[in-house]
Structure 1
Amino acid sequence: MRPAVSVVIPTYNRNELLTRAIESVLSQEFDDFEVLVIDGARSNSTRELVRSYGDGRIRYIPQQGKGIANARNVGVLKARGKFIAFLDDDDHWRENKLERQLELFKELPKEYGLIYTAFTYYYLERNKILGIKHPRASGNVYRYMLKDNITGTSTIMVKRECFKKAGLFRESFPTCEDWDMWLRMSKICLFGAIDEPLVDYSIHSGQFSFAKYLAGRYRMIEEHGDIKHDPRVLSYHLLQIGLLKVFGGDRSGAKDILEAFRLNPSMRGNLADVLGSFLDVRTKIYILKFLGRL
């Protein structure tokens, strides 16, 4: 029989963290699932780790080391469940995560194809919660996704059939491939939201590349016409990028800020959103990382 949920876990030589992730799945109150461990390192130690559980629900799948977008795509294509849930190898689920999402899917109309949840930012080195990211919207979230990635990939459960309409993760993105995916997904289905932190999103050293993040942001602008050709939305992106650059010590951020004001001199519809985004715990953590304080 096919499982109800396929859990896709990409990994690359992080067995200690992977163990934590797998065990958070095995501890779920709902147990009709399969776990697909997509190993980009093709490591014997990771293969043996998966085998050591002796659990037929866990499948080890070697990958050619083509990045996380490709790993997720391999998982989507090999998944057998009606629903697909994603879990990065350094993140952790609360024990009722799958159950809560499946219950909500039963209550929602069929137009809802994806459910995401609140999550904590968990600082691994200090065993400390830095803050909680709450859902900003539900239903038709497209206009919110145009400006910010309001989701967290490790929180998401999505109907497998939705990928047939939205396509797969775009492997050419340097970063923000998840934002790109969920933005495209928000065009073809409604999103449900659970305002309870059911995932611990891990913060740790060596995790974040400012240059790659910026490259991903610029790629989002280029690939999405509703960003690139809407002065207000484009202005929002450039203002946020410019401010992040300035905080990171990159003076070229001033050009982005000036272009943002040229596109939208009054900042109508943007200034409050940008200020709100800088008060958001996610942006605070990014800034701390840029400054080398995390």
Structure 2
Amino acid sequence: MSSPAVTVLIPVHNGAEHLGDALASVFAQDFDDFEVLVVDDGSTDATPAVLANCDDPRLRVLRLERTGLIGALNRGLDEARGDLIARLDSDDEMLPGRLTRQVARFRRDSRLVACGTDYELFGASEGLVRTPRRDQDCRAHLVFGSPIAHPAAMLRASALRACGVRYRTDYPHAEDFKLFSELAAVGTLENLAEPGLRYRVHPGQVSHVEAGPQRETHLRICAENLAGLGLVMSTERLGRLLYPTPGGWRATLGYAVGRLPELLLLGWRGDRLAGVAQALIVGRERLRALVRG
């Protein structure tokens, strides 16, 4: 059997509630040269039944003893047959045309190693999230956070394997941010200027359940990326810039006057105008969060 152009990689652990919708969104894509590789990481709910009820021949299921998300992702990288790997989480949904647009972009640019999209929030929160566009913008954003939404990403498998880039077990809850940071040394990163993902917001997701550990790992990666540019900044200082403490109008004003200029200077030192542009985006998001309380 010939290899598909794309492997859609979906790790899942006890995700029966939304997995069917995630799969349906993939099988509805207008690009059809793909396989769906679901790595069932020791589910004890109805996940196996949901998968058994799917009769599409493009579905492959790999069942593991409970190994954790990073282990499941790396096993998926090892088992993927497509040279392009499209990520999707079991509680999210692909928007129509995503695979067609991302594959076309990879075929036009052999340097491209990771491509994401904008994404729509749904569930407990709604809205459209705009992502950095060009490679330069994505690289500038790496000192503040991940420039690509992981479940909206498509990766070039041959680049991962040639350079030994994988999900790192010592970067829990931000393994995608570390992966994109490493891939930036291999080729170019970018995002398509249109939404390709519906991202479900709910209390059970990692960003809520593991908020503290995720923040620690996130700040460590930011500090490492800054160090790669010759800039030294402690995670404590970065934390004050990227995770301001809510406190009403006083905290909002204090961040706008005291921290935002420091954030802009950091962006300038990192990548001049592109860095300042990304710092403005990050600073605006933090100010909005402070205003909301």
Report the TM range for the smaller structure's normalisation.
0.7 to 0.9
Which of 198, 201, 206 aligns to 2:199? It is: 201
Cα drift, residue 70 of structure 1: 1.4
Match of residue 34 from structure 2? 33
Match of residue 115 from structure 1? 115
Amino acid at match of 2:282: S
Task: Supply the distance in 1 between the matched residues of 2:118 and 2:96 (Cα, whole angstroms).
Answer: 14
Task: Supply the distance in 1 between the matched residues of 2:82 and 2:88 (Cα, whole angstroms).
Answer: 15
- Cα deviation digits, residues 207-236 of structure 1 (max 9, x gap): 2132122221243156557359513xx37x
Greater mean deviation of Cα atoms: 57-66 or 77-86: 57-66
- Cα deviation digits, residues 39-66 of structure 1 (max 9, x gap): 1124473222212111221111112322
Task: Supply the distance in 1 between the matched residues of 2:101 and 2:290 (Cα, whole angstroms).
Answer: 29
Task: Supply the distance in 2 between the matched residues of 1:186 and 1:266 (Cα, whole angstroms).
Answer: 22
Match of residue 100 from structure 1? 101
Cα drift, residue 132 of structure 1: 1.7
- Aligned identity (percent) is 23
Match of residue 128 from structure 2? 132
Structure 1-normalised TM-score? Answer: 0.80
Call closer, same or farther: CA 1:96–1:60 in 2, change over 3 Å: same
Match of residue 80 from structure 1? 81
Gaps spanning 5+ residues in structure 1: where?
A: 250-256
Q: When the two structures are aligned, how many residues end up with a matched partner?
A: 270
Call closer, same or farther: CA 1:18–1:59 in 2, change over 3 Å: same
Amino acid at match of 1:212: P
**SS of residue in 1 equivalent to 2:166:** coil
Q: Is the 8 A contact 1:166 1:188 kept in 2?
A: no
Call closer, same or farther: CA 1:135–1:222 in 2, change over 3 Å: closer
- Cα deviation digits, residues 77-136 of structure 1 (max 9, x gap): 00001210110111110121101111222222x1122221111122x14xx6x2222231
Greater mean deviation of Cα atoms: 240-249 or 49-58: 240-249
Cα drift, residue 240 of structure 1: 4.9
Q: Is the 8 A contact 1:221 1:227 kept in 2?
A: no
Call closer, same or farther: CA 1:49–1:179 in 2, change over 3 Å: same
Q: Is the 8 A contact 1:138 1:191 kept in 2?
A: yes
Q: Is 2:60 the partner of 1:48?
A: no
Structure 2-normalised TM-score? Answer: 0.80
Amino acid at match of 1:85: A
Which of 108, 124, 147 aligns to 1:150? It is: 147
Task: Supply the distance in 2 between the matched residues of 1:174 and 1:287 (Cα, whole angstroms).
Answer: 30
Greater mean deviation of Cα atoms: 210-219 or 69-78: 210-219
Call closer, same or farther: CA 1:70–1:63 in 2, change over 3 Å: same
Call closer, same or farther: CA 1:45–1:270 in 2, change over 3 Å: same
Task: Supply the distance in 2 between the matched residues of 1:267 and 1:229 (Cα, whole angstroms).
Answer: 17
Match of residue 253 from structure 1? none
Task: Supply the distance in 2 between the matched residues of 1:84 and 1:34 (Cα, whole angstroms).
Answer: 10
Gaps spanning 5+ residues in structure 2: where?
A: 248-254, 269-275
Q: Is 2:163 the partner of 1:162?
A: no
